[in-house]
Amino acid sequence: MIQPHSSSALNGLYVDDADARTALREEAQTLPTLLLNSPAAANAVMLGGGYFNPLSGFMDKADALSVAQNLHTRSGLFWPIPILNLTSAEEQVQPGTRVALCDPNVEGMPVLAVQEVESVELLTDKEIAQVLENVYRTTDPQHPGVATFTALGRQVVAGPVQVLNYSYFETDFPATFRTAGQIRNQIKSHGWETVVAFQTRNPMHRAHEELCKMARDTLAADGILIHMLLGKLKPGDIPADVRDAAIRKMANVYFPKNSVMTAGYGFDMLYAGPREAVLHAIFRQNAGCTHLIVGRDHAGVGAYYRPFDAQTIFDEEVPPGALAIQIFRADHTAYSKKLQRVVMMRDAPDHDSNDFVLLSGTRVREMLAAGETLPVEFARPEVARILMDYYRENKPFS
């Protein structure tokens, strides 16, 4: 099986031993507390689940700036996006102490992890702009990732963490949430060697389904990991439980048995385009996948990135040998009326836009909200029904 990123073994920071976990919970009751924001809580979950292997905790300012500017920590570890515990400067956190990190996303704000605070530093306006320009390629406050990052505070609380639980992800999505280690074990139990991962923050329509099958056939893959983000998205996006139900229905009905794994991970969407695509590759390498599908506008939003920036970054900025996982490069995929099947648009040079069944996201939402049936060439009926029920109940366009 493919090795984890930059290590021979996966280093999840969840405290596996029950006695040690109990002792840590008891210690946490005696420690000063720090209420995390949602992105920092998601970072802790990802550290616990091994997706951020081989990191041992939250980065300090120097590593964060080095990663933003050079895609490497000061020690030389290849990494695309700073992993931070950012707080407001009003929070009284002292270097050299241990703090209990409390979960903002669970009622009662229970302790999520314990952090050993190695340093507490402030980001300047110039340093914040450097992070934004390098990671998001914009400082536009309308960009959802920029808006989130700039609202988190500027105090960097760095140091290793011990994770006690997986927040709401494990309880709200017991059939779907999986750590990187759990996915590796499942891949091993299947006897799969070549595994292609598909990243999604949206329900999967016909084009997504067929893209996974194209990648499987092209790579002669043993299996597919459909890996959905379960954390927070921007306003107006479809909630995780609805996406989960729609994706599971599609996978169960339209993929051969034992050919696909459906799982989710506990992370908030960054909308960082190319840099986030590289982070997605690290997630999947740590989970045991050999390939990641990277398509048009991967992890993008609006018009902040060019359509294939998330592919070219692997050629232009990822050093040779930095990652073991390989990229399957996909074009926009749609149903061809001429050929009566789903194709990558680059493979149909004799087509124009009228030859494809193309619906914008806005048009799809409008149709669902109005109770209109989506074309079967665009969405499987079982998937469309789940989405239609959600939009009818929530009336987001009313």
d(CA 348, CA 325): 29
What Cα–Cα distance (Å) separates residue 384 from each residue in 63, 101, 263, 376, 394? 45, 40, 21, 9, 15
Q: Where are the beta strands (DSSP E) in the chain?
A: 33-35, 57-58, 86-87, 98-102, 111-116, 119-122, 155-163, 195-200, 223-229, 260-265, 291-294, 326-329, 333-336, 341-344, 356-357
209 contact partners, CB below 8 Å, separation of at least 6? 250, 254, 255, 342, 380
pLDDT digits (tens, 9 = 90+) for 127-175: 999 999 999 999 999 999 999 999 999 999 999 999 999 999 999 999 9
**What dihedral do alpha carbons 46, 152, 304, 233 form, nearest 10°?**
50
d(CA 256, CA 147): 42
Q: Where in the chain are all domains bearing CATH 3.10.400.10?
A: 18-166
In the three-class reduction of DSSP (H, G, I as helix; E, B as strand; rest coil), residue 53 is classed as coil
Vertex 264 angle, CA 331 and 178, to 5°: 135
Query: Which contiguous run of DSSP H or E holds residue 316?
Result: helix 309-316
Query: How far, in whole angstroms, is CA 17 from its chain's centroid?
Result: 27
- State the pTM of this model: 0.95
The one-letter code for the residue type at 152 is L
Catalytic residue among 137, 201, 206, 329: 201
Whether 286 is catalytic is: no
User: Is there a contact between 36 and 162 (Cβ–Cβ < 8 Å)?
Assistant: no
Q: Among positive and negative, which fits the CA dihedral 152, 158, 160, 164?
A: negative
Q: Where in the chain are all domains bearing CATH 3.40.50.620?
A: 176-265+271-394
What pLDDT was estimated at residue 395? 59
Other C-beta atoms within 10 Å of 184: how many? Answer: 21
What Cα–Cα distance (Å) separates residue 240 from each residue in 21, 44, 85, 151, 305? 29, 19, 24, 23, 25
Catalytic residue among 70, 202, 248, 306: 202
**What dihedral do alpha carbons 310, 269, 2, 244 form, nearest 10°?**
-120
Q: Which of 187, 204, 190 is nearest to 285 (CA)?
A: 187
CATH class of 176-265+271-394: alpha beta
pLDDT < 50 stretches in the chain? 397-398
Whether 43 is catalytic is: no
User: Is there a contact between 211 and 295 (Cβ–Cβ < 8 Å)?
Assistant: yes
Please determine, looking at this structure, whether the domain spanning 18-166 carries the CATH number 3.10.400.10.
Answer: yes
d(CA 358, CA 39): 34
- For the chain, the 3-state helix, strand and coil shares in percent, each to the nearest 5, are 35, 20, 45
Residues in the chain: 398
Q: Which of 169, 198, 371 is nearest to 298 (CA)?
A: 198
